[in-house]
Chain A
Amino acid sequence: MIEHGGRHHIVIFSLDTWQITLFSLAVGLASTLLILPFGIALAWLFARKEWPLKSVIETLVLLPLVMPPVSTGLILLKIFGRRSPLGQWLYQRGIEIVFNWKGVLIAMSVMSFPLLVRSVRTSFAEVSPRLEQIAATLGASPLKIFFAITLPLAYKGIVAGALLAFSRALGEFGATILLAGNIPGRTQTLSLAIFSFVQTGKDTEAYTLLGITVFLAFTFVWFSEWLLRAGRNT
């Protein structure tokens, strides 16, 4: 307890709490930014084009959404682990994925990717193809049509999708713990830390982090729902 302006505060926002929160937010944000261009491109291909094996790819992309996250984590571990060809290739170039923040990044990205793609695909599908066609008759190239018509009309769904993906990334647990471990100060995210604190009986710390996650989740979901509603009204 410390004296502060005549009122008593309990210091619960310790350095560790801050570190864990900021680390989660930073890697979560990075993962969302990383998947955004791929997610938009893929969602557009899903919504607007017909191509061979489309349904197979669609299913594969959605798989992490329904598979146990731990299974996804195990697959990722097999792909990026040092004994796999890809892991070895990366290791020879000085890049290690497993048991450091890059593993957290990959796990978050893979797990939140389906949410992003689904949301963006829906918002692309809601843009009337007629508008794109008329833009073509007005001389607009496919690239101009995408950037001047499709993207601006779908942007609310894209932002909402990105927020959802970000929230999902922050909540990631199963895949992360397999690929990146649960190393305090190195790979420990909010979810992993809550788990550790509960395991070791540090209830105060656990509840603090719990409060933070509830607050963040509420904010993001509420904002993305609001965006989707606003998008539908126009």
Chain B
Amino acid sequence: MHLQCRIPLAHFELDIDVSFDARVTAIFGPSGAGKTTLLDAISGLREIAEGEIEFNGRTVFSSARGIHRPPQRRGIGYVPQEGALFPHLSVRKNILFGANRSDNVGASMGITVDHVLEILEINILLDRPVSGLSGGEAQRVALARAILSRPQLLLLDEPLAALDVALKERILPYLARVRDEFAIPMIYVTHNLTEVLTLADWVLMVQKGKLVAQGIPKVALRSVHAIKQLADEPFDNVFAATFVESDARSGRTRVRLPSGAELFIPYLPQPANRAFQIRVGADDILIATQRPEGISAGNVLPGTIRSIEPVDGEALITVATGDEFVVRLTSAAILRLGLTVNSPVFLIIKTRSFRAL
């Protein structure tokens, strides 16, 4: 996808010129950075002073060549922050609103109503009025509605921002399922790091209307730029994991990381899909310079420090154990332990610090 646009805003100018090609691209930045404006521009809901938008080999906008496709004919689905369900229609009618569009700009991509209903678990909601839905349910319905219009590109504008933390944890897996089940490229706007690290395979960092960094989330978000932006945001380590075995009585489940290393995470019944994601916060990992004895934590991993990126009294430390973990420590702790690049260390992680998606 190629995206170039210049839009004058009240306090700054949105000026982005970027090409990317990923299944899920996150646009990440603080509130008021121009992220929603960008989505509106891509979907054709907002005037672009100057620029060009091209994806899947189609140019939907070009100021130079005078191309300006209306939103109806862009084949771009949009899930806005507030869901924007049609309040006078039932859930069923909302979901099917764009399902029988005659022009069919989007290829069908094997998307069926039943499949979408199953993945997002909204069968039981179908005959409810929209006003009776909870925040999480409304977001699932909005998601289903956008998917069923069979878009070639799906834009999501902070779909979890309005939900409380517990609900976020419940809805995040639905988004992951949508990503894995339907072959629709997604652009996902958020200011939440966990969502970027869990869902996206490319991230564009936007600040005051400008692109400040881009890359694979794990790498790009460790940059100084990112850290400065995220002082108070929890940084999560997210890994693809394979289920090995579960034991309810000992309260833990063994999983294997891509490197082959095995970890204990809190007990979960054997999942239907043996491959899933786990994550642990960078603040929830201890570092020791010697192998610890007599501690309760279930996971002790030997590794080597790859990099230390200090900023404002803290630092993000990348430790290679076969996989890569990011740990956040205070500068005092680093000084006390004498940590430097290439120091051999042990990571200590409580079983219960892991979360499965």
Give residues in A with beta carbon < 8 Å to B: 128, 130-131, 133-141, 148-149, 152-153, 234
Q: Which of A131, A134, A148 has the most CB of B within 10 A?
A: A134
Whether A138 pairs with B87 at a CB distance below 8 angstroms is no
Whether A134 pairs with B78 at a CB distance below 8 angstroms is yes
Top 8 closest pairs, chain A to chain B, by CB: A138-B98, A139-B101, A136-B71, A137-B78, A134-B84, A138-B149, A133-B45, A137-B71
Contact of B97 among A128, A135, A152 (CB under 8 A): A135
Contact of A139 among B40, B82, B87, B105 (CB under 8 A): B105
In Å, the complex CA distance between A141 and B86 comes to: 16
Can you sample 6 A-B contacts with CB below 8 Å?
Answer: A128-B84, A134-B84, A136-B45, A138-B145, A138-B149, A234-B87
Contact of B98 among A130, A140, A149, A152 (CB under 8 A): A140
List of A residues within 8 angstroms of B70 by Cβ: 136
Whether B86 pairs with A137 at a CB distance below 8 angstroms is no
List of B residues within 8 angstroms of A133 by Cβ: 40, 45, 71, 78
Q: Check B43 for interface membership: any CB of A closer than 8 A.
A: yes
Whether A139 pairs with B80 at a CB distance below 8 angstroms is no
Contact of A138 among B44, B45, B82, B146 (CB under 8 A): B146
Known: A134-B84, A234-B131. 7 other contacts (CB 8 A): A131-B86, A133-B78, A138-B77, A139-B105, A140-B98, A141-B72, A149-B86
Question: Helix, strand, loop or mixed for chain B's interface?
Answer: loop
In the complex, the chain A residue whose C-beta lies closest to that of B105 is A139
In the complex, the chain B residue whose C-beta lies closest to that of A149 is B86
List of A residues within 8 angstroms of B101 by Cβ: 138-140
In Å, the complex CA distance between A138 and B145 comes to: 8
List of A residues within 8 angstroms of B86 by Cβ: 131, 135, 149, 153
Given A128-B84, A131-B84: A137 in contact with B131 (beta carbons within 8 A): no
In Å, the complex CA distance between A139 and B152 comes to: 13
Given A234-B87, A234-B131: A137 in contact with B82 (beta carbons within 8 A): no
In Å, the complex CA distance between A131 and B145 comes to: 13
Contact of A137 among B76, B87, B88, B103 (CB under 8 A): B76
Chain B 77-111 near chain A by CB (<8 Å), digits 1 or 0: 11010101011100000000110010101000000
Measured CB to CB, the closest approach of chain A to B346, in angstroms, equals 51
List of A residues within 8 angstroms of B97 by Cβ: 135, 138, 140, 148
Measured CB to CB, the closest approach of chain B to A24, in angstroms, equals 35
Chain B 15-53 near chain A by CB (<8 Å), digits 1 or 0: 000000000000000000000000010011100000000
Contact of A130 among B80, B105, B149 (CB under 8 A): B80
Measured CB to CB, the closest approach of chain B to A231, in angstroms, equals 11
Measured CB to CB, the closest approach of chain A to B89, in angstroms, equals 8
Measured CB to CB, the closest approach of chain A to B80, in angstroms, equals 6
Q: Which of B43, B74, B98, B146 has the most CB of A within 10 A?
A: B98
List of B residues within 8 angstroms of A136 by Cβ: 44-45, 70-72
Given A133-B71, A134-B78, A234-B131: A139 in contact with B98 (beta carbons within 8 A): yes
List of A residues within 8 angstroms of B103 by Cβ: 139
Measured CB to CB, the closest approach of chain A to B76, in angstroms, equals 6
In Å, the complex CA distance between A148 and B146 comes to: 17
In Å, the complex CA distance between A138 and B146 comes to: 7
Whether B72 pairs with A140 at a CB distance below 8 angstroms is yes
Whether B84 pairs with A153 at a CB distance below 8 angstroms is no
List of A residues within 8 angstroms of B82 by Cβ: 130
List of A residues within 8 angstroms of B149 by Cβ: 137-139
List of B residues within 8 angstroms of A138 by Cβ: 77, 97-98, 101, 145-146, 149
List of A residues within 8 angstroms of B131 by Cβ: 234
In Å, the complex CA distance between A131 and B45 comes to: 12
Measured CB to CB, the closest approach of chain B to A38, in angstroms, equals 25
In Å, the complex CA distance between A137 and B77 comes to: 6
List of B residues within 8 angstroms of A141 by Cβ: 72
Contact of A153 among B88, B105, B151 (CB under 8 A): B88
In Å, the complex CA distance between A153 and B84 comes to: 13
In Å, the complex CA distance between A149 and B74 comes to: 20
In Å, the complex CA distance between A187 and B238 comes to: 82
Measured CB to CB, the closest approach of chain A to B173, in angstroms, equals 24
List of A residues within 8 angstroms of B145 by Cβ: 138
Chain B 215-242 near chain A by CB (<8 Å), digits 1 or 0: 0000000000000000000000000000
